[in-house]
Structure formats: structure tokens, C-alpha cells
Amino acid sequence: MLLATNFLKVLKPALNPDALSAITLTLKLAGLATLVLLLLATPLAWWLSQTHSKWRAPVGALVTLPLVLPPTVLGFYLLIALGPNGPLGQITQAMGLGVLSFTFTGLLIGSVIFSLPFAVQPIQHAFESMGTRPMEVAYTLGAHPLIAFFTVAVPLARSGFLTAAILSFAHTVGEFGVVLMIGGNIPGQTRVVSTQIYGHVEAMEYEQAHWLAGGMVVFSFLVLLALSLLRKRWGRVMP
């Protein structure tokens, strides 16, 4: 009992309401972003892995752009686009949805765009690595393309889907530049773990920052460990 009491005292800086709110919001954002990313990335990755269109290279470059673009640049243009005078902002206002900048929905949109390559690339590589033979056999047996996709291609690419889900979730959890630009640091609405740490450092509250930052280090290590175990299990190269 004494040991448990002392442990709770040590954890108290990390269990304050502000930190718990930021952690909860971060997990909610990462979970929803991962779900949306898998839904968007699957058809896009399949198209990129199968097409010979001249648009393949430009579309692939556009999907990969967030990997090399500074997060603040992406966040800035999303802020302009979603703002009251931006094209998307005017559409959402006309639809009665208001302005999405500095809202959770705006954070979700920014997170999906910023993490898109982390979802598309593993699935695309998984589709490419299975070759054309499995789908050709399915078509020969009379399977409808959509049925063949879900019963043949998706199961064979399961490692890519799992990798994409893990990377998308982890990358969303670790976002800072984009979420700060498009969402600010509003408690209970847009303040996630990364911006909470930033706020603690600005206020010179290093003890609270240590707990949250340490948690991020442990989380990142577990993600890399999970990917390493997946690579060993399936015996293939994963991003």
C-alpha cells in the first residue's frame, strides 16, 4: 500500500486534469485520423500500385509531399484554406458548418493530410509485392474485381495495412507544427500532448514537461519495437 501511495505521488504531475485532457484528445485525434487514413489510403494505394497512367508520378509525389514539406508550411496553407476567407472556409460557412480552423475538425483534416504518406506507402508496397498472379487467378475463376480485391488483395496485403495503421497512429500522436498552426493550443479543444509539452516548457514547468515527454519517448520506442516484430514475423521489408 505504501509503495502504491508513493507511486501515485510520483505520478501526480502527469495525472493533472490538463495533462489527462491533452492525452485523451490526442488519442481521440490519432484514432479517428487513422481510421480516415485507412479508408482514403486503400483505394489510392491500390491505384498507385496498379496504374500505368501518366498521372501516377505526379499523384505519388503529391501524396509524398508532407514527408519533405516543413509542417509549419503545410499548417500555414491549411490555416489559410480553412480560414474565413479561404476557399474551404467559405464552403464550410455556406454549409452552416462555420470556420474549421482552431477546431478539432480542423485538427483532424490537418492530421489526415500530414500523415497520408505514412498510410499510403506501406499499403502500396504491400500491394506491389504480391505481384499480379493472385488477382489474375481470381479473375480467371470468375471473381468480380471488387470481390477479388477484398478476398485476395486485402488479405495478402495485411502486413501493409497493419504497418500503415501503426505508423499513422504514432505519427498523429507526435504531430506538433501542423496542429499548432491550424489548431492553436486551446485547452480541451485543440491542446494535444505535443502542444501541452510546448506550453509547459514556455511556462518553465519542466517537471510536467518531463513526464509527458518521457511518455512520448516510451510510446515511440514501443512503436518501433512493434514494427520490428512485424517485419520479423512476415519476413518482408516494411517502411
Give domain status of residue 201, yes or no: yes
Q: Which portions of the chain are predicted below pLDDT 50?
A: 1-11, 237-239
Taking the chain, what is the end-to-end CA distance rounded to the nearest angstrom? 45
Give domain status of residue 49, yes or no: yes
pLDDT at residue 159 in the model: 87
Give domain status of residue 1, yes or no: no
Give domain status of residue 12, yes or no: no
Q: Which domain holds residue 42?
A: 17-234
pLDDT at residue 12 in the model: 52
pLDDT at residue 3 in the model: 38
pLDDT at residue 41 in the model: 96
Give domain status of residue 196, yes or no: yes
* Helix, strand or coil, per DSSP, at residue 199: helix
Give domain status of residue 57, yes or no: yes
Give domain status of residue 154, yes or no: yes
pLDDT at residue 6 in the model: 45
d(CA 164, CA 101): 27
Cell numbers that stand for 49 in this block: 500500385
Q: Which of 54, 56, 58, 33 is nearest to 46 (CA)?
A: 56
Entry pTM: 0.85
Give domain status of residue 5, yes or no: no
d(CA 140, CA 199): 60
pLDDT at residue 47 in the model: 95
pLDDT at residue 89 in the model: 87
Structural domains in the chain (count):
1
pLDDT at residue 125 in the model: 94
Report the C-alpha dihedral over residues 79, 81, 86, 91, rounded to 10 degrees: -120
Q: List pLDDT tens digits, range 179-235.
A: 989 988 888 888 899 998 888 888 888 888 888 888 888 888 888 888 778 767 765
Q: What is the CATH number of the domain that holds 49?
A: 1.10.3720.10
pLDDT at residue 13 in the model: 55
